[in-house]
Amino acid sequence: MAHIQLKNITKKFGAHTALRNLDLDIADGEFFVLLGETGAGKTTTLRLIAGLEKPDEGQIFIDGADVADWGAAERDVALVLQQYSLYPRYTVRENLEFPLKPKIRRIEPDEIKARVDRVAKTLRIEHLLDRKTDKLSGGEMQRVSIGRAIVRKPRVFLMDEPLSALDAKLREALRTELKNIQMNLGQTFLFVTHDQIEAMSMGDKVGVLNHGRLIQTGTPHEIYNNPRDTFVASFVGSPPMNLLEGKLVSGRAVMAPLNFELPYKAGAAGTDGRALTFGIRPEDVVIEQGAPVEARVHDVENHGVEKILTLRVGDATLRATVPAQTSVAIEDAVRFAWNESKVVLFDQGTGVSLRHAG
Ligand SMILES: Nc1ncnc2c1ncn2[C@@H]1O[C@H](COP(=O)(O)OP(=O)(O)O)[C@@H](O)[C@H]1O
Ligand SMILES: [Mg+2]
């Protein structure tokens, strides 16, 4: 059981503010992913929760208890890092036993064996138990590292980009496994990553961190479909959301400086004439004959089930995702429209979505 709350956390390193007024609320049993670019403050957040750093301001609660005066051991959290920290000359079994061996834990040998065997089974590393850890592949080592965290039965799992050192295929496989493990354990996971695909595919909730500030928290669906601002819109999704500058003029979206128009009837109150950024996902750009705008095909990327087209209009480009069987070639003239109901309007000055403002 563990409910984690961070209230108004600020953390500075000298003159640099790594985290600013951070509020986080992670429910018991939730798989929460903190997503942010390098330097956003992800590791700092984990180290604060683990008790390895102290905040300059704000409070951290674990199950409602303010842990300011608790040492790292008392907090009983497990931190899994990108770089696996295994003892190289020992076997996998010994590595898994270590966290259970300290005298103060008073765990009986039978119990230790039972726990190690159970964890090895969960992680499918039973066949490796007698092997020395320096004879393992990267993926196997990371499984053992995760095993070392699980075997302790901590209150919370903190995972600092544990998959980012692995190759793409393994990363994908472990993503699914880790998610399954978390669901089976039913425990609270705070997983941090710079990889938006990882965040969107694993998180029950995702928090987007930018330069030490939490920009948005929501389900992957909310973050994807209703981004709070243009930063989130362009960070999440691959290829990212198209962002086009323009304004609404009586039922039309008039793009400037791009100089084309698209129909847009359901404008929010007071938006006519206001400088806006129109956000449209590539899958909501529609290529069809008779559509309102002409563009040139600037590039075609083949992705198996679909193609990603880069369209050129004047000096600008935008992306469109189309079915693989669509036959297009570079420099073809095509016409496009957009799925009006999927357009997100952002204030051009602040970049904040009109749905989130006010
Ligand atoms: N011990 C430290 N001393 C000085 N600056 C630090 C220290 N730890 C982190 N920082 C700075 O704080 C910011 C956030 O770092 P970090 O939490 O490691 O980001 P992330 O894990 O998202 O890449 C970075 O600008 C980093 O350089
Ligand atoms: Mg980090």
Q: d(Cα 38, Cα 44) in Å, to the nearest integer?
A: 11
> Is 306:320 a contact under the CB 8 Å cutoff?
no
Mean pLDDT on 65-75: 94
Mean pLDDT on 347-356: 94
Query: Ligand 1 test: best mutation among 11, 24, 34, 44, most atoms within 8 Å of CB?
Result: 44
The ligand minimizing its distance to the Cα of 18 is 1
Task: Tell me the average pLDDT of the chain.
Answer: 92
Does ligand 1 lie within 6 Å of residue 16's CB atom? yes
pLDDT at 99 over 70: yes
Task: Give the confidence band of 32 by pLDDT, cuts at 50, 70, 90.
Answer: very high
Which protein residue's CA is at the shortest distance from atom 16 of ligand 1? 41
Which protein residue's CA is at the shortest distance from atom 26 of ligand 1? 39
Out of 40-54, 140-154, 329-343, pick the least confident: 140-154
Task: Give the confidence band of 267 by pLDDT, cuts at 50, 70, 90.
Answer: low
pLDDT at 266 over 80: no
pLDDT at 70 over 90: yes
58: nearest Cα among 214, 169, 199, 170: 214
The ligand minimizing its distance to the Cα of 38 is 1
Residue 96 has a pLDDT of 95
pLDDT at 103 over 80: no
Residue 82 has a pLDDT of 81
pLDDT at 226 over 80: yes
- Sequential DSSP letters for 225-238: HS-SBHHHHHHSSS
Which protein residue's CA is at the shortest distance from atom 14 of ligand 1? 41
pLDDT at 358 over 70: no
Domains of the chain: 4-235 (3.40.50.300), 242-347 (2.40.50.140)
Instruction: Give the count of beta carbons closer than 10 Å to the beta carbon of residue 339.
Output: 12
> Is 133:87 a contact under the CB 8 Å cutoff?
yes
pLDDT at 83 over 80: no
Mean pLDDT on 116-128: 91
pLDDT at 260 over 90: no
> Is 37:210 a contact under the CB 8 Å cutoff?
yes
Per residue in 171-204, pLDDT (tens digit) is 888 898 899 989 988 999 999 999 999 999 999 9
| Ligand 1 center from residue 120 Cα (angstroms) | 34
